[in-house]
Amino acid sequence: MLTSFVRSGQKVILRIEDILNKVFSSEQNLLYYHGAMPNFCMWMLFLSGLLLFAYYTPTLEAAYQSVEYITDKLPYGDVIRGIHRYAADAMLLTVILHALRVYFTDRYREYRLIAWYSGVALSVFMLIIGVSGYILVWDERSFIIVTKITDFLGSLPFIGSSLASAFLNGEVISNYTMSMSFFLHTGTSFALLVLLWVHYMRISRPVVNVTWAIGSLISGIILLFAGLFPAISGPEAKFTVEPSYFDIDWFYLWLFPLIDTVGNIGAWLVLIAGVTLVTLLPNFVRNHDKEPASVSKDHCVGCRLCSIDCPYEAIYMAPRNDGSKYKEIAVVIDDRCAECGLCVGACNFDAIELPNYKSPQVMDDIRIALQS
Amino acid sequence: MTQAETQSENKLKTKDEVKVAVIACARSVNLEGELSATKLNGVSNCDVIQVPCSGMIQPRMIEAAFNAGADGVIAMGCQIGDCHFREGNKFCRERLLGQRPPMIKKTVPKRRLKGLWMSEVQVDDFKARVEDFKGYVAEQLVEEQKGN
C-alpha cells in the first residue's frame, strides 16, 4: 500500500514537472532545483542576517529599540528585515518541497541514507533557528516564547531543569538569556553549513545553485511579501505588563499552539514521534539485495572515466602493482554503489559491469531482439 | 552481416518497414504491459531493450543495434533535469552529441540516431514520437541513397 501511495505521488510530481518543462523549459524548471532553492534562501538569510547583525543589540533594554532602529531609521532597514523574515519562510517551504520530492521519487534511502538523516537534522536545526529568531525582537511575543520554551524544556524528566536553566542562561530571564538566544540563532546557523557538508557527502557535483532566472524569481517573491506585509514588532516586552500579543507564524511557531493543545509532555511526544518517524522512513521499505558494479582486472586500463562519471563517489582509482602495464585500477566502494550503470556507460573496455546487466549481454539482447 | 550489407538492405523502406531499436532507461516511459517480449505494442518493427539508466548506454550498444539491422536507434532516458541517478541522461545526451567520452564512432549514421527524454507518464507521447522518428528515418534512407 505504501508503495502504491508513493508511486502515485511520483506520477503527480512527474506530470507537474512535464507541464513546467513545457512552460519554462527543463533548464529553468523550478522542481529540478528543489535542493538548490533552500540553499539559495539560506544564503539570502546569511546575507540579510549579516546586515541585521551589524546593528542588533542583544540585551533586554536595547534589543527592541535596536530592531526598531533598523526598521525605521536605517536606509532600507525595513526591506532587509522583511527579506530576512520571508526568506526564512521561503526556505522552509522549499525544504518541504525538497523532502516531498525526494520521498515520492524514492530518492532518500539505500545509498542516499546520509543525505536523508542529515536532512532531518538540518530541519530540526532550522526550527531552533526560526524559534530563537523570534525571541531576538523582544516584543511581547518574544516574552511569551521565552516563558513557554522554559516550561517546555523544564517539563522533561531528569534533564529538564538543567535544559531550562541552560536556555535561560541562569535562573531568571536576563541579558544572558538574550545572549543565549542570539547564540542559538546565529551559532546554530553556522552548524547548518557543517551539516550541509555532510548532506552533500557521497554526491558528486551536487546541484547547489539555482539559475539566475529562478534566483530572481525567488528574490522577487520574497521582496514582494516584504513590501506587502512588512515585518513589524508587537509591543515591547515589559516585565510589568502581562504580554498578550502573539501573531503566529505557522512556519516556525506552530509548536506553541501545539503546546497549548496537548500540553508540554504531549508536545514533546509529538515532536519526538514526528522526528523519529521521518528518520525511520527509509526502514519502511525493504532494500533490494545489493549487486554492486565490479571491475575486471584484466580489462581495466585505468582511464578514470568511470570514477569521474560515478554520481555517488563510489569509484576511486587505486595504484596497481600487479605487473600490469597500466598505472591505476578502478575500485568500487560497494556500499556507495547505486547500481545505476553510469560507470558501464563510461567504459569502453568491458572493464566494469553490473552483475545483472553485463554490457555484452545487453548487446546480445539488442541483436536477438532485432533479428526476431 | 557487415555494416555495408546492412545499409544496402536499408534502402527504400516504407515508414512501416523501418526497423527501430530503442535502448531505454527502465525508469523513463513506463512500458509495463506495452511490450510483447521486446516488441512495442501498437508500433510496427520497434524493439525496446531496457537498461537501469540511460547513462549506462554505451556507444558500442548503439553501434551493435545498427550492425544488427536497425535503421534507426533511439537512446531514451528521463526528462533532462530529472534522473533517478542524478546525471545519467545528461551524460547520455552528451555522448550522443559527441561531447563526452567514450565517443560514438564516425561510421554510425548519426542522422538516424535520436535521443529521447521522457518521463514515466508519457507512454502515448512516446509512441507518437517513435512513429515520427520512423517517418524521419524512412526519408533519411532515401536521402542517403540519393547521396550515394
> Which residues does chain B have within 8 Å of residue A348's beta carbon, measured at their own beta carbons?
58-60, 101-102
Residue A356 belongs to domain with CATH number: 3.30.70.20
* A21 in any annotated domain: no
A276 and A314 both lie in a single domain: no
* A123 in any annotated domain: yes
> Which residues does chain B have within 8 Å of residue A313's beta carbon, measured at their own beta carbons?
none
Measured N-to-C along each axis, helices A63-72 and A36-55 cross at an angle, to the nearest 10 degrees, of 110
Q: Mean of the pLDDT values across residues A293-308?
A: 95
A146 and A274 both lie in a single domain: yes
pTM: 0.92
A213 and A332 both lie in a single domain: no
A212 and A112 both lie in a single domain: yes
Among the partner residues B49, B59, B86, nearest to A366 by beta-carbon distance: B49
The gap from C-alpha B33 to its chain's centroid, in whole angstroms, comes to: 20
From A226, A260, A284, the end of a domain falls on A284
pLDDT band with cut points at 50, 70 and 90 for residue A288: confident
A268 and A149 both lie in a single domain: yes
pLDDT of A291 above 80: yes
> Which pLDDT score, from 0 to 100, does residue A201 have?
93
> Which pLDDT score, from 0 to 100, does residue B10 have?
47
* A29 in any annotated domain: no
pLDDT band with cut points at 50, 70 and 90 for residue B1: very low
Measured N-to-C along each axis, helices A113-136 and A77-104 cross at an angle, to the nearest 10 degrees, of 150
Q: In the predicted model, what is the mean pLDDT of chain A?
A: 95
* A351 in any annotated domain: yes
Domain extent for A361 = 294-371
A55 and A192 both lie in a single domain: yes
Q: Is the ipTM of this complex over 0.85?
A: yes
Distance from CA of A53 to the nearest CA of B (A): 38
Distance from CA of A216 to the nearest CA of B (A): 20
Among the partner residues A26, A348, A370, nearest to B81 by beta-carbon distance: A26
Contact A309 B91 (CB under 8 A): yes
Distance from CA of A246 to the nearest CA of B (A): 43
A349 and A220 both lie in a single domain: no
Chain B interface includes A307 (CB < 8 A) = no
Residue A262 belongs to domain with CATH number: 1.20.810.10
Distance from CA of B92 to the nearest CA of A (A): 8
A148 and A43 both lie in a single domain: yes
Q: Could you give phi then psi for residue B105, rounded to 5 degrees?
A: -60, 150
What per-residue string of b and e applies to A60-75 under the rule 16 or more CB within 10 Å gives b? beebbebbbebbeebe
Query: Per residue in A249-275, pLDDT tens?
Result: 999 999 999 999 999 999 999 999 999
Q: How far apart are the first and last CA of chain B?
A: 20
Chain B interface includes A288 (CB < 8 A) = no
A255 and A350 both lie in a single domain: no
* A22 in any annotated domain: no
Contact B68 A105 (CB under 8 A): no
Name the domain count of chain A: 2
> Which pLDDT score, from 0 to 100, does residue A292 have?
95
Grid coordinates given for B71:
535503421
Query: β-strand A328-332 against A315-319: which pairing, if any?
Result: antiparallel
pLDDT of A113 above 90: yes
* A9 in any annotated domain: no
Chain B, 114-143: which have a CB under 8 Å from a chain A CB? 119-122
A73 and A217 both lie in a single domain: yes
Mutate to test the interface with A, among B45, B49, B78 (most CBs of A within 10 A): B49
Using CA atoms, how far residue A364 sits from A175, A323, A357, B60, in Å, is 75, 33, 11, 12
From A284, A316, A332, the end of a domain falls on A284
* A361 in any annotated domain: yes
Query: β-strand B72-77 against B20-25: which pairing, if any?
Result: parallel
From A259, A284, A309, the end of a domain falls on A284
**Pairwise CA distance, residues A340 & A314, whole Å:** 11
A274 and A353 both lie in a single domain: no
A243 and A310 both lie in a single domain: no
Closest A-chain CA to B37: A369
> Which pLDDT score, from 0 to 100, does residue A31 have?
94
